[in-house]
Amino acid sequence: MKNNKKNVKINALTYIILIIGALCLICIPIYLTLIGSFKTGQETIANFFSFPKHLLTQNYKTVFSSGFSGYFLNSVEMTVLSVILIVLFVPLGSYAIVRNKSSKFFKVIHYVCLLGLFVPFQVFMLPLTTVAARLHAMNKLGLIFIYVALAVPQTMFLYIGYMKANLPIELEEAAAIDGCGKLKTYVSVVFPLLKPINATIIILNALWIWNDFLLPFLILGGDNAQWTIPLFQYNYVSANQMNYGPMFALYIASMVPIIIVYMVFQRNIIGGITAGSIK
């Protein structure tokens, strides 16, 4: 009994330490960025941690007047289209592999796709840029297809794990008895059952694409009309190094949309991944 009470106290203390650590690592930086977005540069330099004397909204007006809306729409366009293509096409390939696991052809495709998990982006960064330039794909459309291709290894890994654990073959057999072909079975029976893992895939890839800097820098760096928010941030901060107010306002305006999306769907992320890891 004493051991149980001791373990409870240790666990409680551990959770308290972890919560405090999380608050320090997450909440304090967000707080400093938020209050900094409403202060003048002089106030920030004088006392970085102080609350603003007056809520200065001019910083946000400065950011939006510098073209933020256009870059925001670019990020939304690329994120939404990339995620839609990923969710439409990767489950199809994953489903084919799961239902043809005894075929050598599909086994080879499976292993080749999963090899992408072990190859660092830096290894094929320059060849990828060279090929994109030769194909005249150094634009938003080319970047969208690159995102879809790079998402295949991890996304397929998650889909295959989920399908093996949560898609009973009996449902598809019943649909076949009712006269459904393979495509109709996939659309009517299989795809609706993928809702939890689809939510996981959508959020994971949306977070990655929204926050990605290196790929847009390599593919879109020469055309500022196609820049995404991370590219705009990089150039804006470089040009306004001592103007802290608008810089912080830019960070907040960039974070808010994706934070809201993450908070809404975070349960699906955990549920989708754990459901695909237990059979």
Answer yes or no: do 21 and 108 share one domain: no
Cα 83 → chain centroid: 9
Global pTM reads: 0.84
Answer yes or no: do 99 and 185 share one domain: yes
Continuous H helices in 118-243: 121-134, 140-166, 169-177, 182-185, 191-193, 195-211, 214-220, 229-239
Residue 277: predicted pLDDT: 41
Residue 91: predicted pLDDT: 94
Residue 216: predicted pLDDT: 93
What CATH number does the domain containing 128 carry?
1.10.3720.10
Confidence of residue 237 (pLDDT cuts 50, 70, 90): confident
Mean pLDDT on 33-41? 85
Domain presence at residue 43: no
What is the token pair recorded at 279? 């059979």
Answer yes or no: do 19 and 155 share one domain: no
How far is residue 225's CA from residue 160's CA, in Å, rounded to a whole number?
Answer: 39
What is the token pair recorded at 39? 């202060």
Confidence of residue 279 (pLDDT cuts 50, 70, 90): very low
- The number of domains in the chain is 2
Answer yes or no: do 148 and 191 share one domain: yes
Of 167-171, 241-245, 265-269, where does the model show the most confidence?
A: 167-171
Mean pLDDT on 117-125? 86
For residue 116, give the DSSP letter: G
Answer yes or no: do 25 and 94 share one domain: no
Domain presence at residue 49: no
> Of the given ranges (51-60, 100-109, 268-277), which has the lowest mean pLDDT?
268-277
Domain presence at residue 47: no
Residue 272 above 60 pLDDT? no
Residue 257 above 90 pLDDT? no
Answer yes or no: do 153 and 15 share one domain: no
Contacts from 233-239 at CB under 8 Å and sequence distance 24+? 236/63, 236/66
> Of the given ranges (140-144, 210-214, 231-235, 256-260), which has the lowest mean pLDDT?
256-260
Answer yes or no: do 26 and 97 share one domain: no
Q: In this predicted model, what pLDDT tens digit does every residue of 192-223 receive, in sequence order?
A: 888 888 888 988 899 899 999 999 999 987 77
Answer yes or no: do 162 and 238 share one domain: yes
Domain presence at residue 50: no
